[in-house]
Amino acid sequence: MLKKVLALATLLLAPLAATASQLPDYPFIHITGTAQQYVQPDMGSIDFEVIAADADPAVALKVVQQRVAEVRALVQAQGLEEESLEVRNVRQELRKNQRGDGPAVVEVKCVVHLDVHDLAKWAALANGLLGMENLDSFATAFDTSEREKIEAGLAADAVRDASRKAGTLAAGLGRKLGPVTGLSTGALRNLGNAMGLVAADFGFRRKEAPQTQGSGRDNLVNVVMVPMALSVDAIFRLK
């Protein structure tokens, strides 16, 4: 059954090649190869909000400034550079009294971003932040300084995966796999449209790399592995 389906697909390519200049004019196989792995991170970042509320905005602002100063002291105590901490988006908002029986209060907040290039200090920083008041909306992200090297390895693995799949399809047709004549880390431009295919026609779905972010106080101390993935589209000539 597989041979019949593949043979039919090969025959269908001939008239398409005559009418679509972007298609090769020889029998070919279009295939996608993928590769993925989880990588141990060596750097990370923490984002959180500093929030204080009071009927007097000056009092709320003073609390926020005090907490930011405490965060800076924690960063300095761990030997991190001052540039690793950034305070941004300082703002104030009027917040109604939740019980409805008193005056509205002013909420002052800011966002703090902290880069950590030495994960040996991560636990001490995270636990120090968890011990502070007025901090909320924690989010963490991790990465690796070897990203380019790892992505190069993933690209090679994805090409091998595409070649293996194409070889299996060629064998199903009783043919041998020829040289690769087109290769892209994204979908080959206009190929699917030229073949009359839309997204729903493809059985394969590219999977986006999972986010390496965690949110909430419970996730702050955890160092998360970095998922990395890469896909390639390839065209192989059939012998």
Strand order in the sheet with 226-238: 28-39, 226-238, 177-184
* pLDDT mean values, one per 10 residues, the chain (239 residues): 43 43 79 95 96 94 97 96 94 76 85 96 95 95 96 95 95 92 77 51 40 67 94 93
Please name the residues in contact with 66: beta carbons below 8 A apart, sequence gap of 6 or more: none
- Residue 113 near residue 99 (C-beta atoms within 8 A): no
pTM: 0.73
- Write down the H helix ranges in 115-201: 122-130, 147-172, 191-194
Residue 25: phi and psi, rounded to 5, are: -100, 30
Residue 24 is predicted with a pLDDT of 76
Count the alpha carbons within 13 Å of 219 in the hemisphere toward its beta carbon: 17
DSSP β-bridge partners for residue 54: 106
Residue 96 is predicted with a pLDDT of 72
Residue 103 is predicted with a pLDDT of 73
Residue 25 is predicted with a pLDDT of 79
Q: Six-digit token pair at 76? A: 């300095």
Please name the residues in contact with 112: beta carbons below 8 A apart, sequence gap of 6 or more: 47, 48, 49, 50, 68, 71, 85, 86, 87, 88
Residue 155 is predicted with a pLDDT of 94
Q: 83: which DSSP letter?
A: G
What CA–CA distance (Å, rounded) separates 191 from 102? 65
Q: 216: which DSSP letter?
A: S
Longest dimension (CA), the chain: 83
